[in-house]
Amino acid sequence: MFCRGIRGATTVEHNEAEEILSATGELLRAIVEANDFRPEDICSVFITVTEDITATFPARAIRTMVGWELVPLMCSLEVPVENSLPKCIRLMVQVNTVKSQAEINHIYLKEAKALRPDIVKLTNEAAR
């Protein structure tokens, strides 16, 4: 068994609590589906947001998901690099698994697909 990191990112159009919570839930569900694990397999989830997301903590979306109540979550600000993707939510899900690094599926949604087009392409090819 190994501890593997699963990356994911998404964006929101508006700094509004409901949109942030919805986007975070959508991203985590996509990561779970693509990698086939349960909350009991999770070590922790590290969440970052760009400095223009201030309406709510994205972790709130995860805390309300059934089975995720005991998973350690932490929110932080992303490094504010000039010209970086705005209104972006990133997840680093640390999971206990027997899968190799090559078997892990990282998920990028909405405008965040531009962050790692190489991974988005690999994920799309694997889905075919």
* Residues identified as active-site: 7, 63, 75, 78, 90, 108, 116
Whole-number Å distance between alpha carbons of 68 and 26: 14
Count of CB atoms within 10 A of residue 47's CB?
23
